[in-house]
Amino acid sequence: MIKLSPSILSANLSNLGKDIKDLEKFGADMVHIDVMDGRFVPNISFGMPIIKAVRGISNLIFDVHLMIEEPSKYIDEFAKSGADIITIHYESDIHIDRTIKYIKSLGKKAGIAINPATPVSVLECIIQELDMVLIMSVNPGFGGQSFIDYTLNKIKEIKLLSEKCNPSLMIEVDGGINKDNIKSIVKAGANVIVAGSSVFKNEEIEKNISILKEGI
């Protein structure tokens, strides 16, 4: 089953609670929450207080993507705030094995994200420990970017590794996904789709989710 995880980075932040309720109402499977610190990526976004504030209004899986330096310092707080999946960047943590094991010890699902130019090979030793791999198909930090075509090959590589070492792995793709390319992304092996602008465009959430699901 292909799951849709809309990124609230593109939501109407003045009405965030309603937008999250609408995601659940109109068939989203998860809520993708991009946490940015202005250091690892050139932008600042949500933190623990926002996650905690909206946790009580939704039964959707909270898919928390930490685009921050030294994420290991903050795992406890994100877990307490209501994250169900915590994904950290390979590029931001020098003790990635230890951090992944710690996330799982808290009863949370653990994922690793890799930037567009980071090779899939860096995950070969740890992929069997993961619940999710997140392939960035844009350079992280801002919504509304165009899909980087060469990341399709990375999705295929992760799919092959998954079949060999971790068949239950969630393969998530984030960046530039829309009705025109979603089918090729799923065909390459993705089973969790992050979409921001294409879900919240013109605040027509129901229509936009329906269009994306038709592409799947």
Candidates 22, 93, 131, 174; catalytic one: 174
Total length of the chain: 216
Three-class secondary structure of residue 13 per DSSP: helix
- In angstroms, what is the C-alpha Rg of the chain? 16
Among 74, 78, 64, residue whose Cα is nearest residue 30: 64
For the question of residue 97 being annotated catalytic, the response is no
47 is in an annotated binding site: no
Q: Give CA–CA dist 132/108, Å, rounded.
A: 11
142 is in an annotated binding site: yes
29 is in an annotated binding site: no
Q: Give CA–CA dist 137/81, Å, rounded.
A: 27
197 is in an annotated binding site: yes
82 is in an annotated binding site: no
Candidates 34, 37, 93, 131; catalytic one: 34
196 is in an annotated binding site: yes
174 is in an annotated binding site: yes
For the question of residue 34 being annotated catalytic, the response is yes
Tokens 């980071």: give the residue: 118
Residues annotated in the binding site for substrate, as ranges?
7, 65, 141-144, 174-176, 196-197
Residues annotated in the binding site, as ranges?
7, 32, 34, 65, 141-144, 174-176, 196-197
Residues annotated in the binding site for a divalent metal cation, as ranges?
32, 34, 65, 174
Indicate which residues carry an active-site annotation.
Answer: 34, 174
